[in-house]
Amino acid sequence: MGRRRFKELERAYGFDEVAIVPGQVTINPDLTSTKMTIGDLAFEIPVLASAMDGAVSPRFATLMHQMGGLGVLNAEGLYTRYEDPYSVLENIVSTPQENVTEYLQQVYSEPIREDLIGQRVQEIRKSGSVCAVSFTPQNTKRMSPLAVEAGADIVVVQSTVTTARHMSRSYRGLIFSELVKSLKVPVVVGNCVSYDVTRELMETGIDGVLVGVGPGAACTTREVVGVGVPQVTATLECAAAREDYFRRSGRYVNVITDGGLRTGGDICKAIVSGADAVMLGTPFAQAEEAPGGGYNWGMANPHPELPRGTRIKVGSKGTLQQILYGPTTVTDGTQNFIGALRVAMGMCGAYTIRDFHKAEMVIAPSIKTEGKFFQIGI
Amino acid sequence: MGRRRFKELERAYGFDEVAIVPGQVTINPDLTSTKMTIGDLAFEIPVLASAMDGAVSPRFATLMHQMGGLGVLNAEGLYTRYEDPYSVLENIVSTPQENVTEYLQQVYSEPIREDLIGQRVQEIRKSGSVCAVSFTPQNTKRMSPLAVEAGADIVVVQSTVTTARHMSRSYRGLIFSELVKSLKVPVVVGNCVSYDVTRELMETGIDGVLVGVGPGAACTTREVVGVGVPQVTATLECAAAREDYFRRSGRYVNVITDGGLRTGGDICKAIVSGADAVMLGTPFAQAEEAPGGGYNWGMANPHPELPRGTRIKVGSKGTLQQILYGPTTVTDGTQNFIGALRVAMGMCGAYTIRDFHKAEMVIAPSIKTEGKFFQIGI
Amino acid sequence: MGRRRFKELERAYGFDEVAIVPGQVTINPDLTSTKMTIGDLAFEIPVLASAMDGAVSPRFATLMHQMGGLGVLNAEGLYTRYEDPYSVLENIVSTPQENVTEYLQQVYSEPIREDLIGQRVQEIRKSGSVCAVSFTPQNTKRMSPLAVEAGADIVVVQSTVTTARHMSRSYRGLIFSELVKSLKVPVVVGNCVSYDVTRELMETGIDGVLVGVGPGAACTTREVVGVGVPQVTATLECAAAREDYFRRSGRYVNVITDGGLRTGGDICKAIVSGADAVMLGTPFAQAEEAPGGGYNWGMANPHPELPRGTRIKVGSKGTLQQILYGPTTVTDGTQNFIGALRVAMGMCGAYTIRDFHKAEMVIAPSIKTEGKFFQIGI
Amino acid sequence: MGRRRFKELERAYGFDEVAIVPGQVTINPDLTSTKMTIGDLAFEIPVLASAMDGAVSPRFATLMHQMGGLGVLNAEGLYTRYEDPYSVLENIVSTPQENVTEYLQQVYSEPIREDLIGQRVQEIRKSGSVCAVSFTPQNTKRMSPLAVEAGADIVVVQSTVTTARHMSRSYRGLIFSELVKSLKVPVVVGNCVSYDVTRELMETGIDGVLVGVGPGAACTTREVVGVGVPQVTATLECAAAREDYFRRSGRYVNVITDGGLRTGGDICKAIVSGADAVMLGTPFAQAEEAPGGGYNWGMANPHPELPRGTRIKVGSKGTLQQILYGPTTVTDGTQNFIGALRVAMGMCGAYTIRDFHKAEMVIAPSIKTEGKFFQIGI
């Protein structure tokens, strides 16, 4: 009697649609640990800053290191195309909105200068910071060794959608198992959203998987090409692959939720969904120290034929210190991410990130009300 | 214990409620093929322009052909009622909104001139283009032979809801199997939304089925008469019928999703839902070359007693070239449809449209946020 | 593993959440019949006008009869409390919004004059119209015989929630089986929303059940007391009871969906949900001939202690003729209800109302879009 | 074939997503009883006022007692930090919005004066009222005996999330079984949201459980730390625990839904979900007699590092008498809570609160419409 369908669809969920259930035991926030490791490198907090030119400059990467996290430098962005990227950044900021996609298309058509890759890596290393740089799959084989040679500690290989197998007419697909062997530093790869791809990627020997394709409901990748999976479901799938891979191989590979996170609450939900760490762009572009001067844009935006996203005025919301650790008088979750994480871990009785993986979540869509009757708990 | 119900209801989904999951393999967009065939006719792209007077004139049909697609001419619209339809088009555009439904009711009460049918077909054929013309079931038997005689390559029989069996007091229901035999050109029929009707229609020997009844949530057919099925579910059902019919008969009949598509993402989702092609009206009425001068209206609007829809100012958004192939600086998915299709196919590892049928989708409602925190992927 | 709950909740649906699926056969609208019967009384259309003082006056009841439907007069409203209700109606219209609930509380505290009941019935009967009058359960036993004696053809017993068993300290609960036997005219009772209550009510011998408690999502009964069931689900339940009762007893009792209907599409959906007829208030208060002068209010509004709803400016949208039968230039479904019903029946191949009960529906929430890209079908 | 997930998520519901189904029997509202007991203390109505400084002062607690309910005094708020809290209240009201979180952080950093605890208890007891005072778990062991000694009748131990087991570095977790034994007055504990925690808490011998963590969709605890469960589901779970505990132990412990309730309808839904009573803050802060002068704020707001919520202008909506018992001309459910409760109980045939637990509910999301076509029932 039921209607026949060409295929079955399952429901996927985003951050705004779930909520964490408090645990059976609670602990004081000061008893929690937020430590994470990538390969042999240890970090105080499980937070990465995205390889976006408006968010992470060499100087910002250093600052992230000092705060206990990791800033990833886009090795194919302005910093490696221009000797002086800062004047270009200023121009991006001052270009009127109606011309900015065109202007971005233009400045990103300048070729990458390989000599600048090493130079930027050294700038970061000089300060004593862990240095992570990001490449697209097309350029990874040629360029990533230059970065490692110059001292890069972590290589990130990132495109909108990444799989262990890519077919191309113009270049031979990157073979991750070969890359891992040749580079000898931890390799983080993304983005992906499904069990099978995560599993295959982990089997190549990489050290971390970035999760997230078109996660936001308003993400223009979803609007332009229709592709994307909301982040909670994407993370739940990729984390399932990590668990199965760990059970079989004994090797634990990080799942890093990347994109669509705006608040401390989103970070907590990503981790309860199974993430070992999170990667954020816009929230860091909002730091007073960010190179974008209160603006942000992505690498898909200057695409010459199919631009997605745009330059967004994100504003400057506070110092990186405030964003990560407070104190704050802001009550919307956009500051003191780590304070929020510790409080939530405490409410769930989680001493560590991996304990926090065991917390329960429910589906509880956040319906915006008129904002007049907030519940005010003690 | 459960509540008793008079009948069971299943959930149906529209474009805004689903998203495509990237595949296990990715390929470069330049390796993809977007070819489609109707009968023996081959097209570079699986895109039809709707038989709406504001979208397709004889000249626009020619342009669609040159771009690799197919424009369908409404053989019961202004072009076959008026020797000079262009002055009527101008009047429609200049009539104030409050009088326009009445004015449309008036201009469409002018009778169809059978001599103009052949004349319009010849205008299109003269340019070397494939010519498709559309009739309502009432007029098909009498008028479609005139079009075919004049050189029409494809006949489309279209009404809001079409089945293989229609009961009428005033005319004998159109028998599709007889029509197909007598016309000797491919026949495309619609619109329908369900497995059983698609199956029955395919068994009459037709070459394509148009899918879509009141697809948009805001569609006034849904508001006025309550009838309609969201397009993703409608396409999933009709595609299931095509597969079953193909398995049994060995004959592959096109499923063409018609209506409710606005962006490249919607086109991708229709195809992943099982469509072999898509038919769009408003997006083409927005082309600079469209005859409607930035306005669009449907044949249900001038209905003398139960008008649905209205004349809509859709604006002129770019050339047909830009809408189909870019390049563009627009980032909302309304330009470079084919570029978007190829990118999405690449993300799912699909070389052909039928490969793309195998991609996965999830239910992921698009909740509009304030638009400030787009995820910006690389 | 699953969470334990105190009770299970099932999902209920309203008009905006469903859509009708076209049938396997279509018929021309002029072949459809919209006839309905209540007891031995036959009506051309399955439409009742609610017993609301702003909608149905004796004169409006006559007009409804001439149009083929049935207007129910509120026998406890202004028409039976005031010799000259029309000047009170004028005052209600001219009272400022902030004072109107108080003013309504005042005018409805005037006692019902039993002599006026018979007088109003005779006004309606004099014109040759079928006369239906409505009472609350408290007054039915005493007052309804006066109406029947004066010639009333149908008695409606109506309160927000009605069951076959009511417990009261101040009056002995109305016993419907006794009422039915004593009155000897068809009795319609409501409102209810569930299988069990409908079944019990039908077993008392009544001739119709009104379905609807707090149906609208914005209904203030839902806000004030939390009680209500969306109309599609309520109708599906009550219709299931009617079928079971019919199967066992051989007696077919009407299910009349009352409340929350605004458009032709809503009427169609109510009938596909199993309704034999629909009852509407606001859409008739919007008729130029309505006594409320473009305003409407309910009997729950002047409740002395717990007022619900309010006086609403509904406007005057057209003549009753246009609202029921068109023609119209309005495209939002608020005019030509019967035209819409016939078109929808045709799309589903339904010759009669009971055929239309067999049509399929899907769950298809209507998400309001910006209203720019209506699909425009032929 | 299905997608693999790291964990399963169940759907949770809030007040706006459910509706109560009328019963098979109806009774007159004047036959209903709304009595509740806590320990040996009996109350006419199952309504508590939250321990928020803007809602409950000693004087307001007395007023609540006179109205038949119970006002809980925050024993760690302004009333026990300041000899003259009223001038501080005035300053809070007059501070501009942009400085208020900071100002609240400052005034709440003043230490609690233990002598004032007893003094405030005596103020309440002097009027002959039942006196309930609230402490956080950190201070309960030390401070609650002072309150009981001064005459407090009920002790409430409340924090955002409470469990029977809490781990802390700085203080030894409160042991509820010891507290209950030593205090010898009823102890109410919260907040919690799940079966297991409720069960464990009840087993310690306490007399009531407060239900609610981040219940509102707009609650900033949900936004800031991602933790929370909508109130209907939370209440359904905790009530299931109460039933199981009662079945095994023979002891009936109150479940009190706390937070997120705005209307009479919400109160009814909480009780049908299994609550024995409800606790409200903002609706009482809106009383003319409330100490907050039309403003409200929570104890999570002045948190020194992670403030949540803010001072909200809630306005003064009527006297406490009107809010609880009417009469009213307001039709949005924010006045005459008890009238609404009795009407709803009548519609469900419930003589007592525990009868009302047996009513049915359905999931029926409240979609805001334009507010023009309210259904208006009789």
pLDDT range class, residue C71, cuts 50, 70, 90: very high
Between C328 and C21, residue with greater pLDDT: C21
Minimum distance, in Å, between the CA of residue C60 and any CA atom of chain D: 19
Q: What residues 13-32 of chain D have any CB closer than 8 A to a CB of chain C?
A: 13, 15, 18-28, 30-31
Judge whether A137 and A126 are in contact, CB under 8 Å: no
Q: What gap in Å lies between CA C186 and CA C133, rounded to an integer?
A: 11
Q: What gap in Å lies between CA C114 and CA A192, rounded to an integer?
A: 77
Between C370 and A264, residue with greater pLDDT: A264
From the list B148, B150, B137, B152, the residue with the least C-alpha distance to B61 is B152
> Which pair of structure tokens corresponds to residue D162?
């409470």
Q: What gap in Å lies between CA D4 and CA D16, rounded to an integer?
A: 32
Judge whether C103 and C110 are in contact, CB under 8 Å: no
Minimum distance, in Å, between the CA of residue C318 and any CA atom of chain B: 14
The reported pLDDT for the residue numbered D309 is 65
| CB within 8 Å of A264: residues ≥ 6 apart | A333, A334, A336, A337, A339, A340, A341, A344, D224, D225, D226
* D224 has a chain A CB within 8 A of its CB: yes
- Nearest by CB to B331, from A9, A296, A309: name it: A309
The reported pLDDT for the residue numbered C302 is 66
> Which pair of structure tokens corresponds to residue A40?
């042999």
- Nearest by CB to B25, from A160, A167, A212: name it: A167
- Nearest by CB to A259, from B237, B274, B375: name it: B375
| CB within 8 Å of D286: residues ≥ 6 apart | D294, D314, D315, D316, D317, D318, D323, D334
The answer on pLDDT for B368 being more than 60 is no
Give chain A as a 3 state SS string.
Answer: CCCCCCCCCEECCCHHHEEEECCCEEECHHHCCCCEEECCEEECCCEEECCCCCCCCHHHHHHHHHCCCEEEEECCCHHHHCCCHHHHHHHHHHCCHHHHHHHHHHHCCCCCCHHHHHHHHHHHHHCCCCCEEEECHHHHHHHHHHHHHCCCCEEEEECCCCCCEEECCCCCCCCHHHHHHHHCCCEEEEEECCHHHHHHHHHCCCCEEEECECCCCCCHHHHHHCECECHHHHHHHHHHHHHHHHHHHCCCCEEEEECCCCCHHHHHHHHHCCCCEEEECHHHHCECCCCCCCEECCCCCCCCCCCCCCCEECCCCECHHHHHHCCCCCCCCCCCHHHHHHHHHHHCCCCCHHHHCCCEEEECCCCCCCCCCCCCCC
Chain D residue numbers with beta carbons less than 8 Å from the beta carbon of C200 are 24
Partner chains of B (3+ C-beta pairs under 8 Å):
A, C
Minimum distance, in Å, between the CA of residue A336 and any CA atom of chain D: 7
Q: What gap in Å lies between CA C365 and CA C14, rounded to an integer?
A: 9
Once rounded to an integer, what is the mean pLDDT over residues C106-125? 95
- Is there a contact between C13 and B9 if contact means CB atoms under 8 Å apart? yes
The reported pLDDT for the residue numbered C332 is 84
pLDDT range class, residue C377, cuts 50, 70, 90: very low
The reported pLDDT for the residue numbered D215 is 78
- Is there a contact between A159 and B378 if contact means CB atoms under 8 Å apart? yes
> Which pair of structure tokens corresponds to residue B252?
């592959």
A278-310 per-position pLDDT tens digit: 999 999 999 999 999 999 987 776 666 666 667
The answer on pLDDT for D366 being more than 60 is yes
H-only helix segments in C33-174 = 58-66, 78-81, 85-94, 97-107, 114-126, 137-149
Q: What gap in Å lies between CA D288 and CA D335, rounded to an integer?
A: 13
CA distances, B141 to each of B75, B136, B148, B168, B208 (Å): 13, 10, 12, 15, 18
Dihedral sign of CA atoms C54, C58, C61, C62 in order: negative
- Nearest by CB to D165, from A25, A239, A273: name it: A25
- Is there a contact between B7 and C332 if contact means CB atoms under 8 Å apart? no
D327 cis-preceded (ω within 30 degrees of 0): yes
D256-275 per-position pLDDT tens digit: 999 999 999 999 999 999 99
Judge whether D182 and D145 are in contact, CB under 8 Å: yes
| CB within 8 Å of A33: residues ≥ 6 apart | A351, A352, A353
pTM: 0.93
The answer on pLDDT for B369 being more than 70 is no
User: What mean pLDDT, rounded, does chain D reach?
Assistant: 90
Judge whether D354 and D368 are in contact, CB under 8 Å: no
Once rounded to an integer, what is the mean pLDDT over residues D191-202? 96
- Is there a contact between D369 and C217 if contact means CB atoms under 8 Å apart? yes
Counting every residue written for chain C, the total comes to 378
Please give the distance of CA D125 from its chain centroid, rounded to a whole number: 21
The reported pLDDT for the residue numbered A301 is 67
> Which pair of structure tokens corresponds to residue A259?
């994109």
The reported pLDDT for the residue numbered C184 is 93
B65-93 per-position pLDDT tens digit: 999 999 999 999 999 999 999 999 999 99
- For residue D227, is it left (φ>0), alpha (ψ between -120 and 50) or beta? beta
Chain C residue numbers with beta carbons less than 8 Å from the beta carbon of B197 are 22, 24
Q: What gap in Å lies between CA B323 and CA B45, rounded to an integer?
A: 13
- What percentage of chain B carries pLDDT values higher than 90? 76
A149-160 per-position pLDDT tens digit: 999 999 999 988
Lowest mean pLDDT across A86-90, C20-24, D49-53, D104-108: D104-108
The reported pLDDT for the residue numbered D320 is 97
Please give the distance of CA D226 from its chain centroid, rounded to a whole number: 21
The answer on pLDDT for B376 being more than 80 is no
Chain A residue numbers with beta carbons less than 8 Å from the beta carbon of D307 are 328-331
Judge whether A311 and A294 are in contact, CB under 8 Å: no
Lowest mean pLDDT across A212-226, B180-194, D323-337: A212-226
Lowest mean pLDDT across B208-222, B276-290, C327-341, D25-39: B208-222
Q: What gap in Å lies between CA B162 and CA B212, rounded to an integer?
A: 10
C343-357 per-position pLDDT tens digit: 999 999 999 999 999
- Is there a contact between C166 and D362 if contact means CB atoms under 8 Å apart? no
Full set of structural domains in chain D with CATH: 15-164+173-368 (3.20.20.70)
Question: For residue C320, how many other CB atoms are within 10 A of its CB?
Answer: 22
Once rounded to an integer, what is the mean pLDDT over residues B333-349? 95
Q: What residues 286-345 of chain A have any CB closer than 8 A to a CB of chain B?
A: 296-301, 304-310, 312, 314
Minimum distance, in Å, between the CA of residue D253 and any CA atom of chain A: 19
